[in-house]
Structure 1
């Protein structure tokens, strides 16, 4: 059965326009099922794994139905962590680009006075963590008595983090006539009780199954990049790895066109496929790729559906897909017929959390790789040239050039001649004008998530001392420290992050076993 497009779900034109700009071609399963129900005004429980596109599933209907009421909050979205609050707020900003909606993320670790000031100036939609939201309610600054929508995002995670009492108090302070949406990967008894107590009896329960989410024959890696260096990073990867046949995925049709133009201008053999191309264009592009006249096929998810190409050595996610299922479908283009394949994904620091969700959902290991240096590109190209030269020497076809080489020998050293010819070949093989040996900085900070907070009587001094004693790091390696009620975030250098995770995670600190993991690259 063919899935519906976003335009068939009943969304407002401004939202459809924003989704088109964002490059979404068709809804995920949870979006296709939940959006019409929410637009009809029903309460809804959406049960689906993280990474299936749940944010858009509730954000698009809320923004489609948005009507400003001066001085009153229209909607509130509760998330378990600061990181998710920022992520959801950013997503709403993009989806609501043409609606002039006023948004604010509310979370601990930021000056509350600044948040109070913003609320008093007028905010339409609040995205926040339960602790900070409840604090602002108790201060009589945040009034939810007129809200139209209430969303509990990652409800099971909020339960695991001990927020259930806070959530109930927030709900009790909310408009009784609101529309309520609850999204959760699992449905433990406490979440079911919460839904029964605070949602309408006729609330719709939509569950999206995970399906098969593993690709065992594909080696998976990721490169952390900066957005402005994404294109150069890809060129470096292609120049070092030299894939025999690779499909490169972009999130948008415009992205396919721009990347295709950029790679073609630098001499890479590239074809492109997306929804705006007619059938003949797509068939011809696919034929040239299959025949090997082009090394790379750049495509959107929808355009690549149904592609059946043997011997694809690599899949490269130039952009991270919107959900786990799309990721699995993408990397499944390689590693077929029990052959090994390789998948590379380019992610920014902010996308790292989404990548970890994919890793968890697919039960696979996505290993980190460093962006190649120019020195590494040189070594790779040298090995390729050497192999080709040896193959040529084993044949007779080169012998007609011996008289010309003998003539050059009278004026130049043949070693210099060989080096000059290799330089010419190298210049032809490497089209990008790399200005620096390496891009990115190894000294940039990592953001660590720690499972201790104010409730454990933790302070910055104690944390730094604990790190110094166990991981043998310097105080200068530690940057910003944000201590919240039940957990903390610490910025440290990349080298220090590795030592802290290795020597501190799992140890007892502040009377409990401490778990530490990388959150995002740095505080924004």
Structure 2
């Protein structure tokens, strides 16, 4: 059993105590007592047993992860191999294989304005540095995705870039490969001298600065930097808030050529003279629309306009995201060259049809029961559940854990140690169900996330696109389930457009929001209506509801249960080998359906009339 007990203690010092079955965390403003027992024999359905949290007090921070260390006595541009580190960086557990729909990327519409370069069709054409060529092979990249085909020559040609491409389409590699490749041959000349042995004070002067909105995304990008700088003399580092600043400062003092940072910690280090930006040749804003939104705009302007950031005409600014609302695009121009390139892969703010999107009508008071049933009727798979509030994340985590589901949670009020531990548990399969707030909605690329559940539907369509984009990465398939009710009517018109654009079924309770004419999106550049390739769904959704209609349990409970039956099983041991396995189920054909019967008004999910309990 898992319990969360909060005692408010003013000015308590941060103390962490570990015992066999108890985890005590005294934080600055409260004492949180978590009693977590492993109960390894308890499980529910096909899910594996719930696991005790990762309580290793000696686990190193993400910023301290090992990277290749160049030695001055290396004569060649390519340093010797490090088999142990190479296995850590490029091992199978870190590789997301291209899915069966990867070839569809090649036919997606791409627009570059102005058209300044010809795209590369292969990495061999890209004129990459030998180190980068080798690292691309080690990463098992065979064919560049569309955003990579265009970004690599655009960046290599010296242009500023604003790029918008679907989630899971390889945007991180699209800016790391060309920037690092161009610098590998110039690093000896451009990079700051390494600190002398015994030096007491050293100011890091990176050549590449990458700014990300969340700590988790920053550390993920840092891991990619570790891969692509392997065997080179360029040394990557990461700085982010919430974690101890001393280890991060210590890593910077060893030298830093590629710095990934969150805005707050970066500004702190700039003010303290720990970091200088005078040598920066590439400034990258990942999730740029979020970085330029109200929450971060002030910090970004401070970094770009009030620091010592290189401004001699040699620096390029690159912005990447899956969404770019028009107002943010206008604001972004303040930071870009006048002749910058605007690259769009697909529609601005669009998502991929590889995600099967299902919308369920569920009233708030029935959400927990509906969620439990959903988790039991789908084969176990790595599942990400989004909620709106931090308290809601803790509450749902506690509820599901006490129902014997292997869960963990992540949100802004958890300590950075807890946040990193939660992601580790999710990635290695100890806790394959992660409850998260918006902190996990953007950029995170976790292998084999097969199911995203919007337990609380957000009111912003861009946020929805980013949330469901945690599944169906690199041409793989995925399933996104959304709980909808009248409280979400604000997002309904835009949600329906997304469903139609991706040829998804529109349930009865959303049909009144279907557009009468062609689909037109707020972020369309020219205002021309998008061709409605989903028009066939209008007829399909109007005439064919044979697969829907068993959600009302009041009169036909037996048939309702039958519609949720699932005889498929995952082809791995649920709870052990998640990280290297491929599920046996097809996410495009989930074992449950979403529409209430045509003869009914929108109904609540009443499959469980009483609270769900386990025997």
Q: TM-score band (shorter)?
A: 0.3 to 0.5
- The structure with more helix, counted as a fraction of residues: 1
Instruction: Tell me the TM-score normalised to structure 2 length.
Output: 0.39
Q: Which has the larger radius of gyration?
A: 1
Bigger relative contact order (CA 8 A; separation at least 6): 2
